[in-house]
């Protein structure tokens, strides 16, 4: 039967069938088995089905490569074709192993991160570990990709010889390649530095480029900051190493906010201070740490009051500041309206006349001098005129 088939079928068709059938059979058995294992694993742990599902791809690729490699001797290929196929299978095996290593790296990182929760109020330690794991995982993935591709390319004799000659010469070509790869290695080193020193962490409240937001994602090349109005600001990793910025949650999420009020001098400061304490004690936004009211300045005709309040995080500080500002203004409007800012205009009537009448006898018969509109004489600032009883004047 086999001889009859080989008598009419071309040799390349037979070789193709011999190479295709074994991996197809192996993959069919493997996928059926893995499906059963996933169903059984779901009874014991919710993580095991996820582990099996994610490991299914590289495991299937490795099994298929092994099956094809085992069928090569029976395929009756020429020496050149067998060598090329073996070299291709070797490259595929290296890539499949790198794929499996990347998945194992991701699974290990996820298992470690599962121990921490960043949605709690006191999440400083959790954010530290999550940031370190994410950055180091991406750095390790980058190195793994570079290593896998390098090893795969080094299996090709022409590429291997060129690489060895390039390393031996260390000339202009090596310098060009080094300059081309500089951004990759710069970001890689910046990521490692951020993971170790941690100037920023995931969900840190930061102020960058005059914008307030939260660190949403830290990748191997850039950082995504979620701004307060849901815009995203994308910054390179090197920005947080080379430029100054504000981190509002570096040591903890608790923050102190200030509220400034410009009021009149007649404001009852002690009563406003009591009202401030009533406001913060009646809201869950206050963390019970700081509440204070002080007169910090007297600009012009006003008094500047500064209220300090504390909250558990930046969002609650903002809400608490707005609440305190609104309720203090409403309190002054209702109970002390005259303490609100106002302008003053005072009209003063002078007790000393500015113009002194001139008697005709003082002009010696000539026309009187009229420095004023009423023909009187202007008094100098230092002169004084008091009218005595009886009409006499003393100068």
What are the tens digits of pLDDT across the range 101-131?
999 998 888 888 888 877 666 677 788 888 8
Q: pLDDT of 148-158, one tens digit each?
A: 888 888 888 77
Q: Output the pLDDT for position 387.
A: 39
Whether 316 contacts 290, CB under 8 Å? no
Whole-structure pTM value:
0.59
Residues of the chain with pLDDT under 50: 1-5, 363, 367-395
DSSP H helices, the chain, are 2-8, 11-41, 47-71, 79-113, 124-154, 157-169, 172-180, 182-197, 239-242, 269-281, 314-335
Whether 347 contacts 323, CB under 8 Å? no
Q: How far apart are CA 255 and CA 248, in angstroms?
A: 8
Q: Output the pLDDT for position 127.
A: 81
């Amino acid at each position: 039967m086999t001889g009859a088939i080989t008598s009419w079928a071309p040799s390349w068709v037979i070789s193709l069938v011999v190479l295709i059938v074994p991996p197809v059979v192996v993959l069919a058995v493997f996928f059926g088995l893995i499906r059963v294992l996933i169903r059984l694993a779901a009874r014991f742990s919710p993580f095991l089905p996820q582990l099996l599902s994610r490991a299914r791809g590289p495991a299937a690729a490795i099994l298929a490569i092994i099956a094809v490699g085992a069928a090569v001797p029976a395929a009756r290929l020429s020496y050149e074709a067998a060598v090329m196929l073996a070299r291709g299978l070797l490259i595929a095996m290296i890539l499949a192993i790198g794929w499996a290593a990347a998945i194992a790296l991701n699974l290990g990182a996820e298992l470690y991160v599962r121990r921490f929760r960043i949605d709690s109020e006191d999440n400083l330690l959790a954010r530290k570990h999550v940031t370190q794991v994410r950055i180091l995982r991406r750095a390790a993935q980058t190195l793994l990709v570079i290593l896998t591709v390098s090893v795969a390319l080094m299996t090709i004799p022409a590429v291997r010889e060129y690489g060895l000659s390039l390393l031996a010469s260390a000339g202009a070509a090596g310098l060009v390649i080094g300059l081309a790869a500089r951004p990759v290695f710069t970001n890689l080193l910046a990521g490692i530095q951020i993971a170790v020193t941690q100037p920023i962490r995931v969900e840190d409240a930061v102020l960058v480029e005059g914008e307030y937001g939260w660190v949403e994602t830290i990748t191997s090349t850039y950082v995504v900051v979620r701004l307060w109005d849901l815009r995203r600001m994308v910054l390179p990793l090197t920005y947080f190493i080379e430029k100054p910025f504000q981190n509002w949650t570096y040591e903890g999420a608790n923050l102190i906010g200030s509220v400034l009020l410009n009021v009149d001098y007649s404001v009852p400061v002690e009563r406003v201070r009591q009202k401030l304490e009533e406001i913060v004690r009646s809201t869950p936004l206050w963390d019970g740490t700081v509440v204070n009211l002080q007169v910090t300045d007297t600009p012009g005709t006003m008094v500047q009051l500064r209220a300090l309040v504390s909250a558990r995080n930046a969002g609650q500080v903002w809400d608490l500041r707005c609440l305190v500002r609104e309720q203090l203004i409403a309190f002054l409007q209702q109970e002390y309206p005259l303490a609100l800012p106002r302008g003053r205009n005072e009209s003063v009537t002078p007790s000393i006349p500015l113009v002194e009448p001139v008697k005709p006898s003082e002009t010696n018969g000539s026309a009187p001098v009229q420095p004023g509109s009423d023909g009187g004489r202007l008094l100098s600032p230092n002169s004084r005129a008091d009218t005595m009883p009886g009409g006499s004047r003393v100068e």
